[in-house]
């Protein structure tokens, strides 16, 4: 989840989301993270990261609000 300023204007919100996403992607170590999906309407990025990428995200407190890890689950 990315930190963006509150605004009622959708165009401004979309722009703020894009800028926050770019800031995160620019600061992530390239060999430790890959982009899976960007979202236009919610301040989120889907990434594949390793432990180094996770550590990098955890230091970005100015733009990253929280990190939710997905884990692989075996089918039952």
Q: Looking at residue 33, what is its pLDDT?
A: 94
Q: Provide the residue ranges of all domains of the chain, joining segments of one domain with +.
A: 10-59
Query: In which element (H, E) is residue 49 found?
Result: strand 45-49
pLDDT tens per residue, range 21-65: 999 999 999 999 999 999 999 999 999 999 999 999 999 999 999
Q: How far apart are CA 68 and CA 45, in angstroms?
A: 11
Q: How far apart are CA 1 and CA 39, in angstroms?
A: 11
Q: Looking at residue 70, what is its pLDDT?
A: 84
- Entry pTM: 0.87
Q: Looking at residue 37, what is its pLDDT?
A: 96
């Amino acid at each position: 989840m990315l930190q963006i300023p509150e605004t009622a204007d959708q165009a401004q919100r979309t722009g703020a989301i894009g800028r926050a996403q770019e800031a995160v992607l620019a600061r992530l170590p390239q060999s430790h993270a890959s982009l899976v999906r960007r979202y236009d309407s919610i301040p989120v990025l889907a990434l594949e990261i390793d432990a180094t990428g996770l550590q990098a995200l955890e230091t970005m407190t100015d733009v990253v609000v929280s990190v939710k890890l997905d884990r692989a689950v075996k089918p039952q």
